[in-house]
């Protein structure tokens, strides 16, 4: 008996992708049309800083600050590879000098100071440059009398490669946010997947308004770290944005497609133009 096989059709790379939320194979164009959100289960894929700026700010309004600030290697740290080589690898991969991008921009014509951490660069962990840029962003907002918006994707906590210097950034950024708060200038943080560790334990949780994307992992130690250290498995959904909202830790959960609109409403209210 002869067997006949239908010739497999070639599918171009990038045409489909598997959703991390529902495990479905989804048409990439449909995902991109929804700002990289799954059309089946609403899972919010991680997006790079460039796209985050594009969907958050008015077109052409972003002006970057401190672009050439580079990290140092004070400990000559080495694990699998040297910290110096790791930085070079991350910079080549992401086309960024560091995990944070900061500057000024506009949302619906309203000026703001903005900073974004990117989980693609050493998991968005906070070393000396990240801490310094976040601190300077807060100081710039205070000086210019502008609201501060920080969008976070930081799953690495304080960056161990820089030792105590990275831990010092927690106190430095927290102090800067306290001064901003005392001045009466608004500080909004947006927690995306993931927001963990020293970033969450310091400045991210000090905002006047704390927003989060649906399903974002939010907390201090992540579920894997907890499982491996104290041998405990967290209840399902324990560290999601939804759980944090339920327990009063964050103020609101907003879908990516509506984030700019909701932030603009808050800024408008802070400017005394409540609708």
* pLDDT by 10s per residue, the chain, length 275: 555 545 555 555 678 999 999 999 999 999 999 999 999 999 999 999 999 999 999 999 999 999 999 999 999 999 999 999 999 999 999 999 999 999 999 999 999 999 999 999 999 999 999 999 999 999 999 999 999 999 999 987 889 999 999 999 999 999 999 999 999 999 999 999 999 989 999 999 999 999 999 999 998 877 777 888 888 887 787 889 999 999 999 999 999 999 999 999 999 999 876 44
Domain check: are 167 and 223 in the same one?
A: yes
DSSP secondary structure letter of residue 273: -
DSSP assignment of 34-98 equals TTSB-TTT--B----HHHHHHHHSPTT--EEESTT-----TT--BSSSBHHHHHHHHHHHHS-SS
* 73: in domain: yes
Domain check: are 24 and 120 in the same one?
A: no
- For 105, the domain range is 46-270
Contact 91, 41 (CB under 8 A): no
First to last CA, the chain: 76
Domain check: are 227 and 100 in the same one?
A: yes
Domain check: are 41 and 59 in the same one?
A: no
d(C-alpha 191, C-alpha 215), whole Å? 10
Domain check: are 112 and 20 in the same one?
A: no
- Burial status of residue 94 (CB atoms within 10 A of its CB: 0-12, 13-18, 19 or more): middle
Domain check: are 178 and 119 in the same one?
A: yes
DSSP secondary structure letter of residue 219: S
Q: Where are the alpha helices (DSSP H) in the chain?
A: 28-33, 49-56, 83-94, 128-144, 164-183, 197-201, 223-230, 241-246, 256-270
Question: What's the predicted TM-score (pTM) here?
Answer: 0.91
> Cα–Cα–Cα angle for 41, 120, 42, nearest 5°?
10
Domain check: are 26 and 112 in the same one?
A: no
Domain check: are 29 and 76 in the same one?
A: no
Domain check: are 39 and 117 in the same one?
A: no
């Amino acid at each position: 008996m002869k067997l006949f096989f239908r010739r497999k059709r070639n599918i171009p790379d990038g045409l489909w992708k598997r959703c991390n939320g529902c495990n479905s194979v989804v048409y990439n164009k449909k995902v991109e049309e929804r700002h990289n959100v799954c059309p089946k289960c609403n899972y919010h894929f991680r997006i790079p800083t460039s796209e985050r700026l594009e969907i958050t700010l008015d077109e052409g309004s972003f002006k970057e600050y401190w672009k050439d600030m580079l990290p140092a290697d004070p400990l000559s740290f080495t694990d699998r590879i040297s910290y110096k080589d790791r930085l070079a690898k991350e910079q080549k991969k992401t086309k960024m000098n560091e995990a944070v991008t900061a500057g000024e921009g506009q949302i619906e014509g309203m000026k703001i100071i903005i900073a974004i951490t990117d989980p693609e660069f050493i998991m968005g962990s906070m070393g000396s440059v990240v801490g310094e840029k976040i601190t300077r962003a807060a100081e710039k907002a205070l000086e210019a009398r502008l609201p501060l918006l920080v969008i976070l994707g930081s799953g690495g906590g304080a960056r161990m490669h820089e030792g105590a210097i990275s831990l010092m950034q927690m106190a430095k950024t927290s102090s800067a946010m306290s001064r901003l708060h005392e001045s009466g200038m608004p500080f909004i943080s947006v927690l995306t997947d993931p927001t963990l560790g020293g970033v969450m334990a310091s400045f991210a949780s000090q905002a006047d308004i704390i927003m989060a994307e649906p399903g974002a992992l939010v907390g201090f130690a992540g579920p894997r770290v907890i499982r491996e250290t104290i041998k405990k498995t967290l209840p399902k959904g324990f560290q999601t944005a939804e759980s944090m909202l339920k327990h009063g830790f964050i103020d609101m959960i907003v879908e990516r497609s509506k984030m700019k609109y909701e932030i603009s409403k808050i800024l408008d209210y802070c400017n005394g133009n409540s609708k």
